[in-house]
Amino acid sequence: MDTQIFKPDEVTAAAALLKAGQLVAFPTETVYGLGADATNEHAVKQVYAAKGRPSDNPLIVTVTGPDMVTQYTEPLSATAKQLMQHFWPGSLTLILNLRPGTLSKAVTGGLSTAAFRNPQNQTTLNLIQAAGVPIVGPSANTSGKPSPTLAEHVYHDLKGKIAGIVDDGPAAVGVESTILDLTADVPTILRPGAVTEEDLAAVIGTVRSNHHKVGATEVPKAPGMKYKHYAPNAQVYIVDQVTDWPAALAWAQTLDGPVGAMALDDVLAANSLPANVEAFSLGQNVASASHRLFDGLRHFDLESPVKTILTQGFAATGLGAAYMNRLNKSAGQTHFQK
């Protein structure tokens, strides 16, 4: 299969592929998603095959707004309407109860709920509008690998497996959306993202966080709760404190072969890097670090043959909660120990 690259003004052609049951990757402000007609069970099953994704890992449904959501869900609660009004379009995914028979179990992982998102990317909103249907939108990468923040990342992983990619440049945020479960007794964050717990609480009051990894026989309500995610080929080590970097770099010098170091500019500038260590800048703060995290992991996968990557950790508060959620999964919870 040839994988076509579409410009933002070519979404009508890309939408025609979606309507024909083909797979097309699309841009969002968070990461690139892999699109298929959410109402076409055969097309949705192709998403799992293209990504190598377990079939009990539910898919996010990407929509143009609340009107499209209500075609598939039970009546929206006042809380859901309030969140949509405040955060949509944007980096917030809401898990809602479905009306029976509206979406295939291939979308929901067999659950009676589904996750909906209205992205802040006009190109993709135009794509969905042209297709006339919601589209599923898991990250457009090989399952378990770092999420794609560039069309080039998608092409590397999925060329020949999907019909097209809509290229709208780099993703602005760089980590996937916050997932909030509105079917729980208390609204519960299942995956942190750019919309923080504090942001949500300011709008709707009490919010709970539940980032546990589900058991082998449990069906996850949201992506990222059960299976290995975001992992490059190299082993990632989290360097928790800025004061740990001299020891981490001294250890890196003892290793055979090249080592990657991903950190803020001031950390890299303050430390002398051994000859076998290649630096990748995470910018000036946690916001830029979140934006560049997946790009850095993919850089070392694709352009530098490292077997070890040292990566700066942050406090898991605010946007740092999303960053550390992804980094801990990339590292398999492996931290550098002095």
pLDDT of 29 > 70? The answer is: yes
Residues 310 and 304: beta-carbon distance below 8 Å = no
CA distance 240 to 282: 15
CA distance 26 to 71: 23
pLDDT (mean) for 237-260: 97
* Residue 142 CB partners (closer than 8 Å, separation 6+): 51, 52, 157, 158
Q: Which two tokens stand for residue 273?
A: 């890097």
CATH annotation of 4-209: 3.90.870.10
Predicted confidence at residue 51, as pLDDT, reads 94
Predicted TM-score (pTM) above 0.95:
no
Predicted confidence at residue 228, as pLDDT, reads 57
Write the DSSP symbol of residue 222: S
User: Where do runs of H (alpha helix) occur along 88-204?
Assistant: 105-108, 122-131, 151-158, 197-204
Q: How, if at all, do strands 188-191 and 208-209 pair?
A: parallel
CA distance 252 to 249: 5
Predicted confidence at residue 220, as pLDDT, reads 62
Predicted confidence at residue 166, as pLDDT, reads 98
pLDDT of 222 > 80? The answer is: no
pLDDT of 215 > 60? The answer is: no
Is residue 207 very low, low, confident or very high in pLDDT (cuts 50, 70, 90)? very high
Predicted confidence at residue 305, as pLDDT, reads 87
Predicted confidence at residue 226, as pLDDT, reads 47
Neighbouring C-beta atoms of residue 200, cutoff 10 Å: 21
Percent of residues, the chain, with pLDDT higher than 70: 94
Q: What is the pLDDT of residues 91-105, one digit of tens each?
A: 999 999 999 999 999
Q: What is the pLDDT of residues 227-247, one digit of tens each?
A: 457 889 999 999 999 999 999
* Residue 85 CB partners (closer than 8 Å, separation 6+): none
CA distance 80 to 275: 53
Domain segments of the chain: what residues? 4-209, 235-331
Domain 235-331 has CATH 3.40.50.11030: yes
